[in-house]
């Protein structure tokens, strides 16, 4: 009874999100495997054991842009390798979404081309338009809400998070808690984004969140761009990327990043002599997903399918939860009693989750276009 009581608010929020989907929530993976069409170009099988057997013969899968501390990818990858005996190599772990697409283009038809990508929501249409996203519906398809997958199966969003402010409280004695706070002169030279918003999904989300905090909307990102323009002019924003190295060195005292990127860093920060505090700015709550696609012309198509199956299956979903990310199938996991209080405690509170809504593809494309035109002259000077 205690476990159900503690999980109830999050369960309600998760079910509410899933209610946006016309798919039947609660269908087991085994049932889905028997009823969901696999639209892959490869003949790898229709159940996870069949796909795993075919992937085992291929022996490896080439991945990209999966840092160990990002949503617990380190743990997810280790578990995948041990369970299936498949080599999973991650090239350029800190690459941006734009870098991932460039790598596919550059290495097309060559060894080492990324075979599964993890890109920000604003890059999904480019993946499709460029012909890089294979249509593939995993066996848990029916449990993934409609707003977290492409209808044709070109991508699924295995997890999502909320934009937050991570503060090194050893260096910053009065930690900011809102976007409004970040404007204060006391934070001069201390604030950083996780990349360039024209290239990196996390930075794009920071601008969207700042826009919501300053009178903007999914249809109007300009207030967010103006916000960071002002933040740079005041000297508060430094043009240094948020990474494990810059956080552990103290170079970045205040980081704007996803909630799920901080849990794995907290013990590392403590070992480095720093304390880390994470707050979701309630004046600009923005939730965003990252989308996974099997890449067309993959050298190891079955291993690529298996890795995607793993991410949206129970193993990957519970792995994401351990890293503080919210898996797409969260409602199903709660319904089946697979989320205990410890895992639920790592997530943003139920009130925050209840505020999350996702922009449409049209809104994302328009915001991305505005960023491309305005970020350079207004913020980046290039």
The predicted structure's pLDDT at residue 26: 32
Residue 290's φ and ψ, nearest 5 degrees, are -115, 140
pLDDT tens across 46-73, in order? 999 999 999 999 999 999 999 999 999 9
The predicted structure's pLDDT at residue 381: 83
The predicted structure's pLDDT at residue 43: 87
Confidence tier at 151 by pLDDT (50, 70, 90) = very high
pLDDT tens across 265-287, in order? 999 999 999 999 999 999 999 99
pTM summary value: 0.83
CA–CA distance, 26 with 242 (Å, rounded to integer): 38
The predicted structure's pLDDT at residue 46: 95
Q: Which residues contact 220 (CB under 8 A, 6 or more apart)?
A: 211
Q: Kindly give the pairing relationship between strand 254-258 and strand 326-327.
A: unpaired
pLDDT tens across 291-340, in order? 999 999 999 999 999 999 999 999 999 999 999 999 999 999 999 999 98
7 vs 244, which has greater pLDDT?
244
The predicted structure's pLDDT at residue 37: 40
pLDDT tens across 12-41, in order? 344 334 334 333 333 333 333 333 345 554
The predicted structure's pLDDT at residue 165: 97
The predicted structure's pLDDT at residue 373: 97
pLDDT tens across 185-200, in order? 999 999 999 999 999 9
Question: Above 50 in pLDDT, residue 167?
Answer: yes
Confidence tier at 114 by pLDDT (50, 70, 90) = very high
Phi and psi based region of residue 301 (left: phi greater than 0; alpha: psi -120 to 50; beta: remaining): alpha
**Going from the N-terminus, what domains does the chain have, and what CATH number goes with each?**
2-159+289-354 (3.40.190.10), 161-287+361-380 (3.40.190.10)
Q: What is the 3-state secondary structure (H, E, C) of 140-185?
A: CHHHCCHHHECCCCCCEEEEEEEEEEEEECCCCCCCCCCCCHHHCH
The predicted structure's pLDDT at residue 5: 31
CB–CB of 104/73 below 8 Å?
no
pLDDT tens across 345-367, in order? 888 888 888 888 999 989 999 99
Window from 25-34, 151-160, 222-231 with minimum mean pLDDT: 25-34
CB–CB of 293/43 below 8 Å?
no
The predicted structure's pLDDT at residue 42: 58
Helix (H) or strand (E) holding 266: helix 265-271
The predicted structure's pLDDT at residue 245: 94
Beta strands in the chain (DSSP E): 60-64, 87-91, 116-120, 156-168, 191-193, 254-258, 276-279, 287-294, 326-327
If you average pLDDT over residues 85-109, what whole number do you get?
A: 97
The predicted structure's pLDDT at residue 38: 53
73 vs 8, which has greater pLDDT?
73
43 vs 18, which has greater pLDDT?
43
Question: What is the average pLDDT value for the chain, to the nearest integer?
Answer: 89
CB–CB of 45/53 below 8 Å?
yes
For residue 27, give the nearest of 336, 280, 377, 341 by alpha carbon: 336
CA–CA distance, 317 with 348 (Å, rounded to integer): 16
The predicted structure's pLDDT at residue 34: 32
């Amino acid at each position: 009874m205690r476990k159900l009581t503690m999980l109830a608010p999050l369960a309600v929020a998760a079910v509410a999100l899933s209610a946006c989907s016309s798919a039947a929530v609660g269908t087991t993976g085994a049932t889905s495997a028997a009823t969901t069409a696999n639209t892959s170009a490869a003949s790898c099988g229709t159940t996870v054991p069949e796909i795993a057997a075919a992937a085992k013969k291929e022996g490896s899968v080439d991945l990209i842009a999966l840092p160990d501390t990002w949503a617990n990818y380190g743990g997810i990858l280790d578990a995948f390798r041990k369970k299936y005996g498949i080599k999973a190599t991650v090239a350029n772990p800190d690459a941006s979404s734009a870098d991932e697409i460039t790598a596919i283009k550059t290495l097309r038809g060559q060894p080492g081309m990324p075979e599964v990508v993890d890109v920000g929501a604003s890059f999904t249409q480019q993946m499709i338009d460029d012909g890089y996203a294979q249509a593939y519906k995993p066996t848990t398809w029916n449990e993934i809400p409609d707003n977290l997958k492409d209808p044709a199966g070109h991508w699924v969003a295995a997890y999502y998070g909320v934009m937050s402010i991570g503060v090194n409280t050893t260096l910053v004695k009065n930690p900011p808690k809102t976007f409004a706070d970040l404007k204060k002169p006391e934070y001069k030279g201390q604030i950083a984004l996780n990349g360039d918003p024209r290239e990196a999904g996390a930075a794009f989300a920071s601008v969207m969140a700042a826009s919501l905090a300053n009178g903007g909307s999914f249809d109007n990102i300009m207030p967010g761009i103006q916000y960071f323009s002002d933040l740079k002019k005041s000297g508060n924003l430094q043009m240094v990327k948020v990474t494990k190295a810059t956080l552990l060195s103290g170079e970045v005292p205040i980081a704007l990043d996803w909630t799920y990127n901080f849990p794995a860093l907290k013990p590392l920060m403590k070992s480095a002599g720093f304390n880390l505090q994470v707050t979701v700015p309630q004046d600009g709550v923005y939730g965003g997903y990252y989308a996974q696609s099997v890449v067309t012309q993959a050298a190891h198509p079955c291993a690529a399918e298996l890795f995607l199956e793993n991410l949206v299956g129970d193993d990957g979903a519970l792995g994401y939860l351990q890293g503080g990310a919210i898996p797409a199938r969260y409602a199903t996991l709660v319904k089946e009693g697979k989320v205990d209080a410890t895992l639920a405690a790592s997530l943003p509170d139920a009130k925050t989750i209840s505020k999350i809504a996702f922009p449409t593809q049209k809104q994302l494309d328009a915001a991305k276009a505005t960023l491309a035109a305005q970020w350079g002259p207004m913020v980046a000077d290039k």
